[in-house]
Structure 1
């Protein structure tokens, strides 16, 4: 099995995120859609309690993953108040050497 550089990103929501995110939601979704389309994001979503967004990103290193997340409108407009990036061993068809 061969793992490619993959990172688990947790972006913590501001306490008032439900209100704060509305003006930026479409731009945020467009950013996420672009990362999914270009293969940077394997997965993206939010915890049901709106405590944080969770993304699994392909990137050269943790700094590159963080830089990509910092381009998101939610970070730029303080809908997210913190970003944690950790290396993640993602099992994918590619890491298994399989085609589905």
Structure 2
């Protein structure tokens, strides 16, 4: 198996995220949509308890994965208060030797 550089990113919501996110939600969703469309994001969503967003990103390194998230309107407008980036071994058709 060969794993492409992939990162599990958790972005923690601010305590008042429900109020903060509304003006930036359309721009945030456009950013996520673009990451999914070009294959940079394998998956993106929020925890069911709405404490954090979770993304699985393809990037050359952890710094590049962090930069992708820091360009999101939720980070720029403090809807997210912390970002954690962890190396992740994503099982994909490519990593499992299937196309």
Question: Normalized against structure 1, the TM-score is what?
Answer: 0.98
Question: Normalized against structure 2, the TM-score is what?
Answer: 0.99
Query: Any idea what the Cα deviations from partners look like across 1:31-78, whole Å, max 9, x if unmatched?
Result: 000000111100000011110000000000000000010000000000
User: 3-state DSSP class of the match of 2:95?
Assistant: helix
User: 3-state DSSP class of the match of 2:2?
Assistant: coil
C-alpha RMSD over aligned residues: 0.5
Aligned residue in 2 for 1:7: 7
User: 3-state DSSP class of the match of 2:42?
Assistant: strand
Aligned residue in 1 for 2:83: 83
Rounded Cα–Cα distance in structure 1 between residues aligned with 2:17 and 2:50: 8
Rounded Cα–Cα distance in structure 2 between residues aligned with 1:34 and 1:63: 19
Rounded Cα–Cα distance in structure 1 between residues aligned with 2:50 and 2:20: 12
Rounded Cα–Cα distance in structure 1 between residues aligned with 2:36 and 2:42: 6
Runs of 4+ residues over 3 Å off in structure 1:
none
Q: Which runs of 5+ in 1 are unaligned?
A: none
Shift of 1:19: 1.0
Q: Which runs of 5+ in 2 are unaligned?
A: none
Aligned residue in 2 for 1:61: 61
Count the aligned residue pairs.
Answer: 99
Rounded Cα–Cα distance in structure 2 between residues aligned with 1:95 and 1:48: 28
Aligned residue in 2 for 1:19: 19
